[in-house]
Amino acid sequence: MGRNQRIGLLAGAVVIVVIAVIVIGGGSSDKTKTASGPQTVTVVNGKPQGGVKTITYKRGDTVDLTVSSDTADEIHIHGYDLHKDVTKGGSVHFTFPASIDGKFVIELENKGEQIASLQVEP
Amino acid sequence: MSRRLTAAGATVLAAALALPATASAHGLVGKQDLPIPRWLFAWAASIVLVISFVGLAVLWPKPRLEQPRERRALRLPVQLEVLSGLIGIAIFVIVVYAGLAGVQTSTANLTPTVVYVLFWVGIPVLSLAFGDVFRPFNPWLAIGRGTGWLVKRLGAGADPIAYPAWLGRWPAAFAILAFAWVELAYTNKADPSTLSIMILAYAAMQIVGMSVYGTEAWSRYGDAFGVYFGLFARLSPLHWERGELRRRPPLGGAPFLDPIPGTVPLLCTMIGTTSFDGFSQGPLWTGTNGLGIQLQHRFLDLGFNAEVALEIAFTIGLIGVVLVISSLYRLGVLGMRSVGENHQATELGRRFVHSLIPIALAYVIAHYCSLLLYQGQAIAYLASVPLGHGSNIFGTADRTIDYNVINANGVWYVQVVALVIGHASGLTLAHDRALSMYRSARAATRSQYWMLVVMIGFTSLGLWLLSAANS
């Protein structure tokens, strides 16, 4: 490979770096629409009303979640490994610190049905 | 009228499905990775481009990796081989037995975690660091070697048939595709007893293969898992061979990959199946108008039940993505052919295929590092209660998974670093091969513009699959 070709390629690399810095630095940083505060999931006929929704918190927030269900089952929040029994037509309330980041399945343990996702962002 | 009713029924059923099967990866973990945020995606993509350009400019002008540079570090006693083989067989028996006799809950039974996490993801990582560590413990190979030794002692047995050249690594390519199908498309994937039966069936096939073609030949080319882990071990600085431990530079084993038939399909299958795993969790597949959902509805309408429709959809997707990956590689090869010097496309495809090994491993690490780091911890309690009840062998039955062992940021950096290093390694291997194949340095460089397109394609795809754009 010729010397000019090498210099050309290196110049190309520098151009990419410069563009990257301008685009990434100048572009708006991700605005995470973090919805803290109390959240409710309603289970109808063993399914979550309105489909499987993602409930999002920032790490360090307090998760405040109410699940009301027309089916008796056990609510299981994976990762945090929280279990609470819900009676038919009753509701259960979870409050706990969002200490682990990631996206976790919340399910009706006995039916094996996912009713929501808990997303904790860093 | 009845047809309309069926269609209506299928629609209701489809709506009721809401597809939970795709939500939790591999049926074992209730935790998914957070997608790589946009800023990190952008940085990673630009680093990949910069590395590529700088690489082309500064990489060496003469082939460097084509001559073996190995040094013996250690001589190993024969007894070690026998011992490791016996350990391998013992673990094999425990895993199969636990799956058949234990609790049939995937997370409480030893077998699914061992198969999908420690074996499928753990061994590739170990192979990168320590070389082909699977081979001495390979249970079916140990059985085959033991039997061969016994038969020889007794003076019985016929000579094996020569392994057919055309068969090459095709058996491995098909078996890896089959394993990926079980892992990603089969609805009973995490059922312990089903897994045990499949393990037994696989081992039986290996024993048949070894008895027909000889233990050495079959285990080098036909035994899918042996071949799969062996490919990754070629990147390792350690090489275990014939009672010796040798040292070599990192990536040192890859250029000596014998490019027999089936090798290109195998590598494309490896990259394609991992890609499909990422793709099938994203909105283009699972969204309301996603490809996966639409395919499922199509097959529900044809009268298949929900499970079968899901499996068919996933099968189509899996094979489709493998074909896309194969086409991308083929495109690069055809591009290289246009550079001249009369190389045939098939020859070029095979002689550059070793440069895909680091890409394939980078995909595995990027997609499954969190599975290994989180679910891998489950072995601490599963080893104490392999059947899911009634024992506490090591006193660790009450352990749980610590999800704070690595946080989301940590996982992102592992993913990005793996993909970037895989990219740079693939590029290096391809560059070195081009120098040895092309007579003029100019043709070698021009051929590498094409490989660069392929590599950037694979790495950007890998990043995209993990990024916010696919979540």
Among A93-102, B27-36, B340-349, the range scoring the smallest mean pLDDT is B27-36
* B106, two tokens: 């995937």
Q: Is A19 in Cβ contact with B46 (below 8 Å)?
A: yes
What percent of chain B lies above the pLDDT cut of 70?
94
Q: Which of B30, B39, B50 sits opposite A29 (nearest CB)?
A: B39
Q: What is the pLDDT of residues B112-140, one digit of tens each?
A: 999 999 999 999 999 999 999 999 999 99
Give A-chain residues touching B31 at CB under 8 angstroms. Answer: 78-79, 102-105
Among B48-62, B141-155, B342-356, the range scoring the smallest mean pLDDT is B48-62
Q: How confident is the model at residue B23 (pLDDT cuts 50, 70, 90)?
A: very low
Strand partners of residue A77 = A82, A106
Mean pLDDT of B157-181: 92
Q: Which of B49, B57, B441 sits opposite A6 (nearest CB)?
A: B57
How much is the pLDDT for B7? 42
pLDDT of residue B18 exceeding 60, the answer is no
Q: Å from B115 to nearest chain A CA?
A: 21
How many Å apart are CA B256 and CA B273, to the nearest integer?
25
How much is the pLDDT for B11? 40
Q: Is B50 in Cβ contact with A16 (below 8 Å)?
A: yes
Mean pLDDT of B375-388: 92
Tell me whether A50 touches chain B (CB under 8 Å): no
Query: Which of B38 and B320 is assigned the larger pLDDT?
Result: B320
Tell me the whole-structure pTM to 2 decimals.
0.88
ipTM of the complex: 0.75
- Chain B residue with the nearest C-alpha to that of A56: B34
How much is the pLDDT for A24? 67
Indicate the SS3 state at residue A48. strand
How much is the pLDDT for B22? 39
Query: Which of B22 and B235 is assigned the larger pLDDT?
Result: B235
Q: What is the mean pLDDT of chain B?
A: 88
How much is the pLDDT for B306? 86
Q: Å from A68 to nearest chain B CA?
A: 19
How many Å apart are CA B426 and CA B359, to the nearest integer?
6
Mean pLDDT of B159-184: 94
* B433, two tokens: 């091969």
- Chain B residue with the nearest C-alpha to that of A29: B39
Among B33-47, B326-340, B367-381, the range scoring the smallest mean pLDDT is B33-47
How much is the pLDDT for B256? 95
How many Å apart are CA B324 and CA B169, to the nearest integer?
20
Give B-chain residues touching A104 at CB under 8 angstroms. Answer: 30-32
Mean pLDDT of B363-375: 93
pLDDT of residue B78 exceeding 90, the answer is no
HSE at residue B27, side-chain half, CA atoms within 13 A, is 23
How much is the pLDDT for A93? 93
Mean pLDDT of B62-66: 86
Mean pLDDT of B80-98: 95
Alpha-helix residue ranges (DSSP H) falling in B102-214: 110-113, 123-130, 134-137, 139-154, 170-184, 192-213
How much is the pLDDT for B381? 93
**Second-level CATH architecture of A39-121:** Sandwich (2.60)
Q: Is B39 in Cβ contact with A24 (below 8 Å)?
A: yes
B336's CB contacts (< 8 A; 6+ apart) are B343, B348, B352, B447, B450, B451
- Ranges of residues in chain A with a pLDDT under 70 are 1-2, 24-35
Q: How many CB atoms lie within 10 A of CB B260?
A: 16
* B213, two tokens: 């073609």
- The contact set of B with A (CB < 8 A) is 16, 18, 20, 23-24, 29-34, 37-39, 42-43, 46, 49-50, 53-54, 56-58, 61, 400, 403-404, 407-409, 441-442, 445, 468
How much is the pLDDT for A35? 65
Mean pLDDT of B46-54: 85
Indicate the SS3 state at residue A100. coil
How many Å apart are CA A68 and CA A52, to the nearest integer?
14
Q: Which of B43, B409, B441 sits opposite A24 (nearest CB)?
A: B43
How do the domains of chain A map onto residue ranges? 1-31, 39-121
For the purposes of burial, counting CB atoms within 10 Å of the CB of A64, is it exposed (0-12), middle (13-18) or buried (19 or more)? middle
Q: What is the pLDDT of residues B191-224, one digit of tens each?
A: 999 999 999 999 999 999 999 999 999 999 999 9
Mean pLDDT of B69-83: 89
Q: Å from B397 to nearest chain A CA?
A: 16
How do the domains of chain B map onto residue ranges? 30-470
Q: What is the pLDDT of residues B292-313, one digit of tens each?
A: 989 999 999 999 998 899 999 9
How much is the pLDDT for A25? 63
Of A8, A6, A122, A73, the residue nearest B33 (C-alpha)? A122
Q: Is B49 in Cβ contact with A101 (below 8 Å)?
A: no
Mean pLDDT of B357-381: 94
